[in-house]
Structure 1
Amino acid sequence: MNYSTLLCAALLAVSVRGQDVTKLYGQCAGDGLTWPPCITGTTCIYFNDWFSQCLPPPKTTSSSADPESTTTT
């Protein structure tokens, strides 16, 4: 086996392996079927018995000042 054949085989193995996860916004569960896990950084969110989806974590908001605790003079 020459170098280029070996390289092509290795790249194919890596690209096939990379598909063993569900991408962002992909379906990750439903209807009793087995799906690959969600890609890192996402979570499989349940919608109903037939559909769950890989979604990013919710954005958190932080306020710099609490309006209840501010005083005006």
Structure 2
Amino acid sequence: MGRRRGRWAIRRIRRAGRARARSDAGMTTAEYAVGTLGACALAAGLYKVVTSPAVIGALTDVLDRALHAT
């Protein structure tokens, strides 16, 4: 009787593992979507900063000084 219970317990654990794996099947897609959205938001923010007049002026000044250094 001890062996039967052990086999039953192993089957139950395997079944639970399979059910858990099935329920998380779409989770990675959702995580990728949220990560992609975050990366796009960060890129949009950086683009706004880099294309602002203050940053463009500073970069132009740095490049102008570097190219005309004596």
Is TM more than 0.5 here?
A: no
- Say which structure, 1 or 2, has more relative contact order (CA 8 Å, 6+ apart): 1
Larger radius of gyration: 2
Structure with greater helix percent: 2
